[in-house]
Structure 1
Amino acid sequence: MTSSFNVHDAAGYEQLMGRWSQRLAPLFIGFAGLAKGEKVLDVGCGTGSLTFALAKSAHLGTIDAIDYSPVFVEAAQRRNTDPRINIRQGDACALPYEDGTFDRAMALLVLHFVPEAGKAVAEMRRVVRPGGVVAAVVWDHLGGMPGMRMMVDTVAALSEGGRQLRSRYCFQPMMQPGEMKRTFVEQGLSDVTETELMIRMDYQDFDDYWAPIAAGEGPLGKYMATLDAAERTRTDAAVRDAYEAGRPDGPRSFANVAWACRGVVADTRRA
């Protein structure tokens, strides 16, 4: 298995994270760059946040998208109306494409859920032509997601299981400063650059924030699914109290920071 992400329902994922990845995608594209007529690969496309943001660039040639989850693939295929886009199921660590097929390979909020993240970067490099670009972006779970840290810090105060969740969540692969950059260099990419991208997560009320997690979506939802009824009730109340912060329930806004990295595929024929 090459993904540790937990998904049950595409609509639940959209409420949990898809709406925020849609907001992040244009910033990521601006960082990764695009050029007229290019063939672009979206690795770990999910429900299509990056795929359909790429499609807004009318000058692109083709857009291929791949994801490990059949739930995501089916949802993205159902949304697609652009003949340039081809969406399929596949493994980020064994991409089903020939060497040098693409001008650019991009991964939006994916590498931190791939246990063999270095292998996924190597595969992205393999399928991109010499001189082409590999780029990826991941959330900074430890220091850049206060809205989600609010939940994991709350459950960590409640139980040993919550403390274990926090440790796993905060230290997933590729999330520490410089970690993606080192991996890109180790996998043979050149001119590697790392930067930070920021959006805001805006919620209408506690239910808007909590419903997909309570329903079992994502790594935090996976934890909730392990709790018995009494523990769930206790956790729901504690996280609600953290969200409301002593004020009536209603809108809340959290800044979210992501690490982004890009590198160029070297022309080994010149070596």
Structure 2
Amino acid sequence: MRSKNNSSISRVIKPRLLIIDDSKDVVDFLAELFSTTYECHFAHDGVEGLEAANDLIPDIIICDVQMPKMNGLEVVRILKSNQNTRYIPTILLSGYNSRENRLEGLRAMADDFVAKPFDYEELRLKMSNLLQLRQELQNTPPRDYITEALDLNAAEFSIKERELIEAMIDYFSTNYPDNKLNIDMVAKHLNYSIRQIQRKIKTITGNTPMDLLRTYRLKQAAAALLRHKTISEVSEACGFSSPNYFCTCFKDYFELTPRSYQKLNK
């Protein structure tokens, strides 16, 4: 017979799930569905949810859209702008399933969007897939932040150059869905004139800031396509002016159409 200590050591550690929803019925229902496979934690509004996410650092989050104090879209935006929580897979739940609602979720950088009433098996598989992808990324040898975001050889940069490029990437990460983002906005954020930032970034990287923004958007779009988003949704959510322009840029960069990329990576 095993001792109590040995039994607790051998117990499988469950992934930590944070459910953010103001409806007690929904929280209780989700807890009933997932308590056997997840360690479930709860928050009943957006503000409480942010506090819980920062305190617990859960493995995955399910967040309602319509909530008091702070809605789910704003919760996700804040989570994704925080270095401690930006990589936590987050699924938005909503009673609305229009194209615009899904796009709003994508613009907020949610990892997926599920409409209420939801299908249990669909939600379960989406959660499982996101966790598996996160685990694979954690097991992959780390790549440099700049290399990962823009395919640049970061080893070639000085400390000051790295700081500038990373500041630009951070700005891209929260503003790339805005298709009106332009060089003037980038220059002002980085405290340079347009001419200065154009010349400086071109000298460091061989690319203009807008070239690098397009690369950043394309890499975000590629990740979104693998989450089975439509080409139109991905195009708009990633800041491209039209689906046709997005498809042209995507094919130039990846040498595949978005549709072919999805099929190849199923």
- Between Structure 1 and Structure 2, the one with more strand by share is 1
- Between Structure 1 and Structure 2, the one with more helix by share is 2
- TM above 0.5, one fold? no
Q: TM-score by structure 2 length?
A: 0.29
> Bigger relative contact order, structure 1 or 2, given CA contacts below 8 A and separation 6+?
1
Q: TM-score by structure 1 length?
A: 0.29
In terms of Rg, which structure is larger? 2
